[in-house]
């Protein structure tokens, strides 16, 4: 399976970055790729084999989907690994587990996030990379605005 890596440097300390990344109160403000989308709800229980769930929705109401994953490894302020299942794309279903790994590297008040994920086979690699990078960039902008 093809792996894609995206990254971002956030001008905040690791404790703040970790909170914004994992707190549903913040997740709804950054967890979507494009400006015409939103994240109306999110839940997160950051424990191994517990779940994260978020809804991504088009702002015009034309489409939405739930994204869910289970954590496989969590090292506070350092690493999060999870498996994600793609359940629905438009009007057909796919059930395929994909692995995602997040590394958090801290240096004073700068935190680098490196995210590596298994590509899916519906969208081009370029579109997937652009979408995931856009989410990281949105995360950076939101985190730094706090």
pLDDT in tens, 5-30: 999 999 999 999 999 999 999 999 99
Q: Tell me the domain boundaries of the chain.
A: 3-145
Rounded distance between C-alpha atoms, residue 138 and residue 146, angstroms? 13
Name, in order, each residue with C-beta under 8 angstroms of 61's C-beta and a sequence gap of 6 or more.
none
What is the reported pTM? Answer: 0.90
**The predicted structure's pLDDT at residue 57:** 95
Percent of the chain with pLDDT over 70: 92
The CATH number assigned to the domain with range 3-145 reads 3.30.530.20
pLDDT in tens, 54-86: 999 999 999 998 888 889 999 999 999 999 865
pLDDT in tens, 30-50: 999 999 999 999 999 999 888
**The predicted structure's pLDDT at residue 61:** 95
3-state secondary structure of 99: strand
- Terminal-residue alpha carbon distance, the chain: 37
């Amino acid at each position: 399976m093809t792996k894609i890596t995206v990254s971002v440097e956030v001008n905040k300390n690791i404790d703040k970055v970790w909170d914004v990344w994992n707190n549903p109160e913040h997740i709804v403000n950054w967890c979507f790729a494009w400006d015409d989308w939103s994240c109306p709800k999110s839940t997160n229980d950051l424990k191994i084999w517990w779940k994260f769930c978020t809804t991504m929705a088009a702002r015009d109401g034309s489409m939405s989907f739930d994204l869910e994953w289970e954590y496989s490894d969590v090292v506070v302020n350092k690493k999060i690994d999870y498996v994600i299942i793609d359940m629905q794309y438009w009007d057909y279903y796919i059930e395929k587990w994909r692995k995602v790994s997040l590394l958090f590297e801290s240096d004073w008040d700068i935190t680098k996030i490196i995210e590596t994920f298994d590509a899916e086979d519906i969208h081009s690699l370029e579109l997937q990379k652009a979408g995931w990078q856009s989410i990281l960039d949105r995360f950076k902008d939101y985190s730094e605005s706090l």
